[in-house]
């Protein structure tokens, strides 16, 4: 790890020379901090491989062609199963998402605020991680494998955003991905929760090993990145990791409620249409001849 980190007074191995019961900052930056991202990406790959293996073993190729109907925001399905803008969409059918006249303050608060809070937390995480990487590089301390954090944060946010777009997917490959990655929220919650725990532990190790009130080379006061500044950055990162985890849980619960409501609405609509068809058929059967 000496090639990934430089000028680290606590050493470059797993255990610190200053605090033997805690890992070194180099070990955090090179192994522990990017570890949740590696597990997250591996989990997504495992979901795709397992889904492909199960479909190939069962021989059910129809599921590749016909995706599940859903009602995700911001791109939910219409009643005919086609997404917004699809060539199969029927403009005469009532939509399962709010129309322009149905947008109220409660609807805006319910649908937009969770999304804005979640994506805002992800943006802050990316910005603060960029600040830490840039400052470590300026101080010639080495950045380890911290840039891999971008892959996890951007991937989790992209999956959450694409969840609704996959609802109207008609292509074979898009349908397969929407089915295979449907439990992605489990990996995303793990990513945010594990990142918060690792960053909090890294903050404790920084304070315990290097200290905030020490003088001399350990405080890095004569460098572009003092320990006090890194401590503030890590505290902010930990807080927004917790907010991202809470936002992921909240949006997962919200989407689940929307899917259940859409299924109930679809069943009720099908029941009404079936009843009308029976009534029309009965009327036509018993109509007097002319």
Beta strands in 74-169 (DSSP E): none
Q: Please answer whether residues 199 and 25 qualify as being in contact, where contact means their C-beta atoms are separated by less than 8 angstroms.
A: no
In order, the DSSP letters of 194-215 are: HHHHHHHHHHHHHHHHT-SS--
Give the pLDDT of residue 208: 84
Give the residue carrying structure tokens 């020490």.
Answer: 214
pLDDT at 72: 40
Cα angle 13, 192, 49 (rounded to 5 degrees) comes to: 90
For residue 80, the model assigns a pLDDT of 44
* CA 192/CA 183 separation, integer angstroms: 15
Question: What is the CB neighbour count within 10 angstroms for residue 113?
Answer: 11
CA distance 89 to 111: 23
Q: pTM (2 decimals)?
A: 0.74
C-beta neighbour count of 73 within 10 angstroms: 19
pLDDT tens string 86-111? 444 444 444 445 554 455 676 666 77
Are 79 and 263 in contact, with CB atoms under 8 Å apart? no
Nearest partner of 206 among 177, 226, 183, 184, judged by Cα: 226
Q: What is the pLDDT, as a whole number, of residue 66?
A: 43
Using DSSP, state whether 33 is helix, strand or coil.
coil
Of 34, 46, 40, the C-alpha closest to 188 is 40
The DSSP bridge partners found for residue 78 are: 95
Q: Using CA atoms, how far apart are residues 207 and 217, in angstroms rounded to an integer?
A: 14
Phi-psi region of 93 (alpha: psi -120 to 50; beta: other; left: phi over 0): beta
Residues of the chain predicted below pLDDT 50: 61-96, 100-101, 290
What is the C-alpha separation between 136 and 146, in angstroms, rounded? 10
């Amino acid at each position: 790890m000496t090639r990934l980190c430089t000028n680290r007074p606590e050493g470059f191995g797993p255990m610190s020379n200053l605090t033997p019961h805690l890992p070194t900052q180099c070990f955090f930056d090179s192994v522990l901090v990017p570890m949740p991202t590696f597990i997250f990406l591996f989990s997504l790959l495992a979901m795709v491989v397992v889904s492909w293996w199960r479909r190939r073993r069962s021989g059910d190729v129809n599921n590749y062609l016909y995706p599940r109907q859903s009602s995700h925001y911001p791109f939910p399905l219409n009643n005919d199963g086609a997404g917004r803008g699809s060539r199969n969409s029927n403009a005469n059918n009532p939509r399962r998402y709010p129309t322009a006249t149905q947008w109220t303050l409660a609807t805006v608060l319910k649908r937009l605020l969770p999304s804005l809070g979640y994506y805002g937390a992800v943006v802050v995480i990316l910005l603060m991680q960029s600040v830490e990487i840039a400052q470590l590089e300026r101080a010639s301390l080495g950045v380890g494998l911290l840039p891999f954090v971008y892959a996890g944060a951007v991937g989790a946010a992209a999956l959450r955003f694409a969840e609704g777009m996959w609802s109207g997917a008609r292509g074979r490959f898009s349908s397969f991905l929407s089915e295979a990655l449907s439990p992605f929220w489990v990996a995303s919650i793990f990513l945010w929760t594990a990142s918060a725990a690792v960053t909090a532990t890294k903050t404790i190790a920084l304070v315990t090993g290097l200290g905030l009130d020490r003088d001399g080379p350990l405080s890095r006061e004569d460098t572009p990145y003092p320990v006090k500044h890194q401590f503030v950055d890590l505290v902010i990162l930990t807080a927004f990791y917790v907010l991202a985890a809470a936002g992921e849980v909240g949006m997962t619960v919200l989407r689940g409620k929307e899917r259940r409501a859409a299924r109930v609405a679809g069943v009720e609509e099908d029941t009404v249409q079936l009843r009308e068809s029976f009534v029309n058929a009965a009327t036509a059967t018993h109509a007097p001849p002319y």
